Amino acid sequence: MSVSKSPLTVHVAAPRGFCAGVDRAIKIVELALERYGPPVYVRHEIVHNRFVVDRLRGLGAVFVETLDSVPDGRPVVFSAHGVPKAVPSAAEARGLDYLDATCPLVSKVHRQAQRMVDNGFHIVFIGHAGHPEVIGTFGQVPHGTMTLVETEEDARALAVANPEKTGFLTQTTLSVDDTAAIIEILKQRFPAIQAPKSEDICYATSNRQAAVKSITAKCERMLVIGAPNSSNSRRLAEVADRLGVPARLIERAGDIDWAWLGSPQAIGITAGASAPEVLVREVIDALAERFDVTEIEAEHEPEGMVFKLPRQLVA
């Protein structure tokens, strides 16, 4: 005898999942494997998603944390998060072929940092300590020319030597709301602080946070598909939580805590910028095994952003 399933409306946020920078980074590894043959070495996870990393590993990519682990004569790819200047310099010194998969929007922040320091400014960098993007950005400029601020409390306690020659930049994957609050404090305390010419938080991060906000009012729970070390994915869960919708960050369907989910009538699903759509489908299929699912995808404007590949791979 079949058991009737309780109805569940699943609001699927859009846009969600892969952004142009992640898509480009993965394609660089795939094309490098075609061009050079395996193994191709990748310094750090190419993007923060275990499913993606495991698939590339299966194709012949080898993920390492330092250049010392890359044997002579093999190509190495730098991750989408960016690396300190010393890393490509060390690769060149060893004669290694390298491909830079740094997201172009992160590279833009790197160039801004260099320009600010060249113009005599000290940089206040808003970001999360230890994140690869932060490490890479700090590695673009001389030691002591950049100060990390993580919280509003940090911004209130910050002392600068010369407010007239101070600027700020931000990590690209931060909470839009948190960052705006920190920037407001910095501007109040240091009215002359120089802002970046354009927003540093990337379009994909902003769009995915806005997409979560647009569906939360209809949802009792939110599932965010992404890795625990993915900054932009964690921010999506925080956005829902702050709007009063309990959220869980999961890597795939097997991570769903069914007791926590309970028997809601409507939930939301989104995916961080490093999470492939196949994992979204996997989660919805798992829900459909327990509920009578009605899936509603949010209306949205397609992003349409595409970044060029490195010349070495398209020549």
Q: What is the dihedral of CA 116, 119, 124, 126, to 10 degrees?
A: 0
What Rg, from alpha-carbon coordinates, does the chain have?
21
Give the Cα separation of 167 and 164 in Å (integer): 9
DSSP 199: -
**Domain limits, CATH 3.40.50.11270, in the chain:** 20-103
Measured CA to CA, the distance from residue 27 to residue 313 in angstroms comes to 10
Determine the Cα–Cα distance for residues 221 and 113; give it in Å rounded to an integer. Answer: 40
Pick the CATH number of 6-18+203-297 from 3.40.920.10, 3.80.10.10, 3.40.1010.20, 3.40.50.150: 3.40.1010.20
Nearest alpha-carbon partner for 62 in 38, 78, 95: 38
pLDDT, residue 2, reads: 58
What count of other Cβ atoms lies within 10 Å of the Cβ of residue 268? 27
Structural class in CATH, domain 105-189: alpha beta
Q: How far apart are CA 41 and CA 60, in angstroms?
A: 9
Per-residue pLDDT of the chain (315 residues; tens, 9 = 90+): 457 899 999 999 999 999 999 999 999 999 999 999 999 999 999 999 999 999 999 999 999 999 999 999 999 999 999 999 999 999 999 999 999 999 999 999 999 999 999 999 999 999 999 999 999 999 999 999 999 999 999 999 999 999 999 999 999 999 999 999 999 999 999 999 999 987 788 999 999 999 999 999 999 999 999 999 999 999 999 999 999 999 999 999 999 999 999 999 999 999 999 999 999 999 999 999 999 999 999 988 889 889 999 988 986
| CATH 3.40.1010.20 location in the chain | 6-18+203-297, 105-189
Which residue numbers are catalytic?
133
- Verify cis geometry, omega within 30 degrees of 0, for the bond prior to 196: no
Instruction: Determine the straight-line distance between the first and last CA of the chain, rounded to whole angstroms.
Output: 62
pLDDT at 315: 66
Q: Are 166 and 196 in contact (CB under 8 A)?
A: no
Secondary-structure class of domain 20-103 per CATH: alpha beta
**Cα(16)–Cα(87) distance, integer angstroms:** 32
Helix (H, G, I), strand (E, B) or coil at 271: strand
| Burial (CB count within 10 angstroms: exposed 0-12, middle 13-18, buried 19+), residue 198 | exposed
Please choose, from the candidates 102, 85, 101, the residue with its C-alpha nearest in 3D space to the C-alpha of residue 93: 85
pLDDT at position 301:
86
Cross-strand pairs, 223: 248, 269
- CA–CA distance, 46 with 116 (Å, rounded to integer): 28
